[in-house]
Amino acid sequence: MHDTRPLLATHDFPAIFRKPLEVLQINLGYLCNLSCVHCHVNAGPKRTELMSLETLEQVLHFAEAAYIHTLDLTGGAPEMHPHFRYLVTAARSKGIKVIDRCNLTILEDPRYTDMADFLAKQHVEIVASLPCYLEENVDKQRGKGVFKDSMAALQRLNQLGYGQVGSTLQLNLVFNPQDAVLPPEQNTLEQAYKQHLQQEYGIVFNRLFVIANMPIKRFGSLLVSQGRFDAYLQLLRAHYRADNLANLMCLNTVSIDWQGYLYDCDFNQMLTMPLAAAGSGKRPHITDLTVDALTGAPIATAAHCYGCTAGQGSSCSGALDL
């Protein structure tokens, strides 16, 4: 596995600064039932890193004290964490919105057959990865049989009310390009997704989030091995748009790793780039900082940040220019 950090270190990305904190994006660990080519966290079935119950409690305490309105749960497959249901239930009881970044196939795993019902009961918003609406492309990127399981999971979620007109249960899908290219225009692709999935599988959903592939971890290593890393960075830089800066996800979000350390975004976490607000070059823990120390603080940047500002922009909630 190639380390892309030195290749990303030299950059001229503009300085950006934090707004009031609203969202905690929590990586519960790297355990996953899949090993996707585009995965920027190198998650997989053999990973053992999982957030401890003590750290979960610290996250909940921080969220309540800082008046956080959203917990954005990632992994790995966050549902595989042994205390996932406890965290969701505790957050919802405090009136905190919960987003589950779901790979869909986990809902068809025999060990998690009641997970979809649990998510619906707790009114958890689901953001589900579906890199294409064609079976061949999905299975190529994520593994054989993933597409069929994904369709079955989406149909089950629809039966529970997710994505339906008039329902409060939000179901959003995520598209990632198959290669080192910029993603297509979000609204146009969303209409194509909706038409195809409705006609072929009777599936409905709320929004499609189009997200650029980041040149880090598994995907970055693939680019380095193919000799295409520099070309992809040049592509991102060439399509930089300054008006995307005002809508970057990192402005109101902090990323927390499975050990409770804080980062300016999920991508910085994977590169072990310390939270800039700490000012010491060391990784601050969630027990070290207050929300007041974050507001107005600088955000750590590197060359991969052009991935969020290229073209229509990219965030965990899709295009930035909408």
The per-residue pLDDT for range 245-299, each reduced to its tens digit, is 999 999 999 999 999 999 999 999 989 998 998 887 788 999 998 888 899 999 9
Domain locations in the chain? 5-309
pLDDT of amino acid 141: 73
pLDDT of amino acid 11: 78
- For the chain, 322 residues long, the average pLDDT of each consecutive 10-residue run is 74 93 96 70 82 97 95 95 98 97 95 96 96 86 86 98 97 91 95 97 97 86 92 95 96 96 93 87 87 92 95 94 74
Tokens of 278: 């700490």
Please give the model's pTM, rounded to 2 decimal places.
Answer: 0.93
Please tell us whether the domain made up of 5-309 is placed in CATH 3.20.20.70: yes
pLDDT of amino acid 35: 65
pLDDT of amino acid 219: 83
